[in-house]
Structure 1
Amino acid sequence: MRKIIIDDNIRGFANKYLKEMENECPNVIKDLENLRDNVIKYNPGIDKKIIENYINEIISDYPNLLITEPKDWNFKKYNKILGVNSDILITEVKYNTKRKVSAGKPIEYRSAKLYDRIMFCLRYEKARTILGEIHQEMGLKACIYCNTQPARSANRNVFYEMDHLKPQSKYPFLGTCFYNLQPSDGSCNKRKSDNPCDFQLYINDSKEELSPFRFLPRITGIEPNTKCIEIKFVGKNGNTTTESKQYNTTFHLEDLYAAYKDVVDDIYWQNYKMCGSMVAAYKATFGHDVTRAELTKHLLHCPYDESKIHEDVLRKLKVDTMKQLDDAGLLLKD
């Protein structure tokens, strides 16, 4: 729900991923060469020139493909190789024999879609386990699309899915690219694959809006008897935009967040309770004047900081609810 500008810090994580992939997957190029040769050998009717050129291009670009930034993704080059035959990537191809060929017996082949075999050679499953722990270091611990489900990894076990921003079936050359793999829960991953979504986690343009969306709780009643009756998903300025409407339609966010109205209620209630006497009590506890940052962190159980919403679930809703209180002049009001 919030984009990340690619800076030297992010590039540091990308380079760590690159080094680990090179150390743990030393045979990627050899495997791609074998795939190229076998597909050409065992599929006499296939366009051999496309197979040769496409896989050779991946070999030529590897391992830089692992950390190629979005601004440098060269779709034109790969699409030109495919020409009018882009369906070749989803074509079932023979890539090996199941057993040694015996005289008088028909050959049995192993087969799969071409892009699947490219992904296998690129070692996607290994990339996923490596990247999972790097995501934890980066603070990417919640689904970037809905922010309601955890994205956790430990001991090389990844307990979430990784969405390919650019689908592997169309762009297998980006199948293990650091910047193309986005932490997602299973439901959001499936919904995105079936519906349009332009949300891109990593961006190069520092002028681009990082947080284009906002949750807008609808509150009824007067303190202390306020009640959240609806949570709208809108654009940054509080109005429904073409982008927020598309995003909401794809991920069903307003329906999903109807189950989290109690989170809003709790923040409103806790904020109401945080009166002058409570502030004095905190001051006595901490032994110094309590800052607004300390009070809001205590109220939210997390920093009141939009940039940290990926660190845990429901952070976006909590921060946006606080902003609503802040904008109304009600936040930490005596």
Structure 2
Amino acid sequence: MIKIKTNKKVVSDYADLILNSKGNYKSVDSKLNSWLLANLTHEDRATIIYIKSKLKSIISSNPKGLESIIKDFETKGFQSTIYDVGQEKLTSLGKEIEKIFNYKGFRKSAKAVWLANQLKIKSCAYCNSQYTLTVKHDRKTKLLFHLDHFFPKSIYPYLSLSYHNLIPCCASCNMSKSDKPYSIKDNIHPYLDSLDKIAKYEATNKSLALFLIDINKNENKIELQLNVRTKYLGNLKTENKLKNYKNEFKVETQYQQFKDVVGETYLKGLYYNSYRKKELSDFFKNSKNITLTQEMIHRFIIGNYTEDKDLLKRPLAKMMKDISEDFKLI
């Protein structure tokens, strides 16, 4: 799970898109007003009044703020009016709120495309193994990825359009992730935490030794693990978050499919010493008059991004960065 970068202006602009009516678009605020006018004596009217009073915070609050809203919503008794715990489904009022926020309509709208363009994410924030692209075809722009809800919209429909509750991810991760309530205490949140800081992918030394015995036959013997970084060993809170992440998204199982990438990177580590890196740099400088930055040299050799800031630009970037560091390529 790679940390997603954002800024206050983008969040503010997004809130304006959702909260203000424009053209044929009827904002969430307007729809809440319409519901209140049409339901003057509804027994759970207070639930909608609360959501309307907190609407801007609901749309723009950071993850911890959203969790506070959830707790306040539950404390005031509103959650029971929209979600039936026994039946594990939304009540009739919950379905009304789901309709008002209209995530399905948002998902198909230009607003979702705008959000995707602002985030500039090209790989799944959860697994970093598949692309999350926005493409234009026949004058229509489509999102070729899912937007997962950290706090499930099936339980908290009023958070279905919250900026920090929309996680760009691949279909596999969205289907793998359960609809059980998540908490910031127990789960890695991609707007707060960085898997790259918490853990690293490592190929076991034994499996690499077996690979070298016969690189043409033993590639499948490579073992790749996702381990907590040394600085967090013994940190039970962090170790628990990592454990929950691995159980939820099955990333270690997924990454067994990329043993060939690990093998190729390992061989590059054996070949590209400092002399050969300089030889590469000199070739472009002397024959092409091109000066390669160290970052570009690393990308050229590894075939992926290696800077922390770029890990969501291409699938497998984190894993390849981790093993390249271990193999002394970078």
| TM-score of the two chains, using structure 2 as the length reference | 0.76
In the alignment, which of 225, 241, 244 is matched to residue 242 of structure 2? 244
For residue 258 of structure 1, report the CA deviation from its aligned partner: 0.8
CA-to-partner distance for each residue in 1:73-111, whole Å, 9 max, x for gaps? 32232112326xx443235xxxxxxxxxxxxxxxxxxx9
CA-to-partner distance for each residue in 1:124-173, whole Å, 9 max, x for gaps? 23433423442233222211111112222244422211111111233222
CA-to-partner distance for each residue in 1:197-250, whole Å, 9 max, x for gaps? 7121113x9xx8863222112322559959561110111339693332221111
For residue 279 of structure 1, report the CA deviation from its aligned partner: 4.2
- What's 2:165 paired with? 180
In structure 2, relative to structure 1, the CA distance for the partners of 1:233 and 1:113 (3 Å cut) is farther
**Cα distance in 2 for residues equivalent to 1:112 and 1:159:** 31
SS at match of 2:123: coil
1:266 aligns with 2:267: no
Contact 1:4–1:210 (8 Å) recurs in 2: no
Instruction: Compare the two structures and name the one with the higher strand fraction.
Output: 1
For residue 71 of structure 1, report the CA deviation from its aligned partner: 3.3
For residue 176 of structure 1, report the CA deviation from its aligned partner: 0.6
**Cα distance in 1 for residues equivalent to 2:169 and 2:317:** 15
Larger Rg: 1
**Cα distance in 2 for residues equivalent to 1:15 and 1:249:** 35
The amino acid across from 2:7 in the alignment is I
**Cα distance in 2 for residues equivalent to 1:126 and 1:244:** 34
**Cα distance in 1 for residues equivalent to 2:97 and 2:280:** 61
CA-to-partner distance for each residue in 1:242-279, whole Å, 9 max, x for gaps? 33222111111111111111111222233444425444
- What's 2:203 paired with? 217
The amino acid across from 1:136 in the alignment is N
**Cα distance in 1 for residues equivalent to 2:70 and 2:91:** 24
- What's 2:188 paired with? 199
In structure 2, relative to structure 1, the CA distance for the partners of 1:76 and 1:290 (3 Å cut) is closer
Contact 1:233–1:244 (8 Å) recurs in 2: no
**Cα distance in 2 for residues equivalent to 1:281 and 1:148:** 33
Contact 1:143–1:185 (8 Å) recurs in 2: yes
In the alignment, which of 123, 134, 149 is matched to residue 130 of structure 2? 149
1:70 aligns with 2:93: no
In structure 2, relative to structure 1, the CA distance for the partners of 1:298 and 1:121 (3 Å cut) is same
1:79 aligns with 2:58: no
Contact 1:166–1:174 (8 Å) recurs in 2: yes
The amino acid across from 1:56 in the alignment is I
What are the ranges of 5 or more consecutive residues in structure 1 without an aligned counterpart? 42-47, 92-110
Moved more, 254-263 or 187-196: 187-196
In the alignment, which of 125, 128, 135 is matched to residue 104 of structure 2? 125
| TM-score of the two chains, using structure 1 as the length reference | 0.75
- Aligned ranges for residues 29-108 of structure 1 at < 5 Å? 29-36=29-36, 48-49=42-43, 51-73=44-66, 74-82=69-77, 86-90=79-83
SS at match of 2:122: coil
- What's 2:87 paired with? none
In the alignment, which of 305, 317, 327 is matched to residue 325 of structure 1? 327
**Cα distance in 1 for residues equivalent to 2:323 and 2:58:** 40
**Cα distance in 2 for residues equivalent to 1:175 and 1:259:** 33
**Cα distance in 2 for residues equivalent to 1:141 and 1:28:** 29
Q: Sequence identity, in percent?
A: 20
In structure 2, relative to structure 1, the CA distance for the partners of 1:290 and 1:254 (3 Å cut) is same
What are the ranges of 5 or more consecutive residues in structure 2 without an aligned counterpart? 85-89
- What's 1:255 paired with? 253
SS at match of 2:224: strand
The amino acid across from 1:17 in the alignment is Y
SS at match of 2:132: coil
1:314 aligns with 2:316: yes
| Alignment size in residue pairs | 295
Contact 1:133–1:156 (8 Å) recurs in 2: no
- What's 1:282 paired with? 284
For residue 293 of structure 1, report the CA deviation from its aligned partner: 2.0
The amino acid across from 1:233 in the alignment is L
